[in-house]
Chain A
Amino acid sequence: MRKEYEVAGHRFAVVMPDNEVAWNSMGSYKPFEVEGVSDCIFTAELIEAMPDITEKKRVTVSCAGSDQARIELYEYKDEWLMELAPTMNAPVRAYLITDKAFKNARFRMLGSIWFSLNTVMMLMFAFATARKNTLLMHASVTVKDGKGYLFLGKSGTGKSTHSQLWINNIEGCELLNDDNPVLRVGDDGVVRVYGSPWSGKTPCYRNLNVPVGAIVSLRQAKVNKIYRQSMPESYASVYVSFSGYRFIKEMAEGLHITNAMVVSTVPCYMLDCLPNAEAAFLCYQTVSK
């Protein structure tokens, strides 16, 4: 069975056997499902057996922390092979083999279906859109008065908490996505933020988009304080909040162009904050001007 989904205006396809239980783990994709068959940025097909990968050549390993996903990248024949694990020291739970254009992928899952499926789709989505004015972000997004406000920061900084502080203390706020929203620069130059099927631990899978009001990087502090970032600071804040293989020249170039366009258009701030209502008020009053 083949199903197509559209996230941030990009269509992709998932192919798995009709009776595959993994379809049951794709509830978060439902709001993004689209009818018919059309041009897709990538197709990911589940395979039951792995090809002989003994000739794989290790390229790099990435892991942002001991409780973060580990991605081992290999070159295999003239394709990329990725071995995925949910934490730094966990065994490999999924394999992803993709052509170097990131258009046709095959994947195999050894367990942890939710982790495996979402990691495969997120990686493919991020790589296939890298040259399409699109960034798959690590952020929490709250909507107020028709504009999206992205909160960035390292894991554990309090991005979700800050979104909740806006929602609980400022009238008319709602959550758009709590972990992996998508930024896209439109042909009209407007930077919009889109919901996605990926939202971390918070089930918030909304097929909605709004123009971005501001991007706010969070840092834990003893006193609430906010300032507008310079362009290089803004660039650096956004840079560390999305991923991609920058040693792949075309990908690095595409990501840079989008990153530069985003920070040239959207005001970016640094918020030193406590997890309290005052931080939300200070932030809202500053960034909504």
Chain B
Amino acid sequence: MKTKKGYTLRPLGQEYILVAEGLDVADATRMISMNATAAFLWEEVEGRDFDEQTLVDLLIDNWNVSPETAKKDIAALLKSWRKAEVIVD
């Protein structure tokens, strides 16, 4: 899968918000808020091909989480990214 083009990650309070700033985005009002972990993962995979395992590995390598927790967290994260339509499979 891949992140969609035209989105920019911006800081908002203690968290982040991913906003549509490209000319090629169909719905310019679409946005999704992210915590620091999700924002880190987004930046890591932005613009390149990745799969669920890429994110799980990144999470395990950078945060002190068990593989089981990582799998569960990434599944939830991908669900929210798909719902917000900011990634394509």
A interface residue numbers (CB < 8 A to B): 59-60, 231-232, 235-236, 239-240, 246-247, 249, 252, 256, 260, 263-264
A-side interface mostly? helix
Instruction: Decide if B23 touches A60 in the complex (CB within 8 Å).
Output: yes
Min CB distance, B52 to chain A, in Å? 25
Min CB distance, A224 to chain B, in Å? 26
Stretch at the interface among B11-19, B39-47, B56-64, B75-83: B11-19
Min CB distance, B28 to chain A, in Å? 7
B-side interface mostly? strand
Min CB distance, B30 to chain A, in Å? 10
- Asked, given contacts A236-B31, A246-B20, whether A256 binds B15 with beta carbons under 8 Å apart, the answer is no
Cα distance A112–B20 in the bound complex, in angstroms = 33
Q: Can you name the residue of chain B whose Cβ is closest to the Cβ of A246?
A: B21
- Asked, given contacts A236-B31, A239-B29, A240-B29, whether A256 binds B13 with beta carbons under 8 Å apart, the answer is no
B interface residue numbers (CB < 8 A to A): 8, 10-13, 15, 17, 19-23, 28-29, 31, 33
For A247, the chain B residues whose CB sits under 8 A away are: 21-23
Instruction: Decide if A260 touches B13 in the complex (CB within 8 Å).
Output: yes
Cβ 8 A contact of A260, one of B8, B12, B22: B12
Instruction: Decide if B10 touches A260 in the complex (CB within 8 Å).
Output: yes
Cβ 8 A contact of B19, one of A60, A231, A239: A239
For A246, the chain B residues whose CB sits under 8 A away are: 19-21, 28
Instruction: Decide if B29 touches A264 in the complex (CB within 8 Å).
Output: no
For A239, the chain B residues whose CB sits under 8 A away are: 19, 29, 31
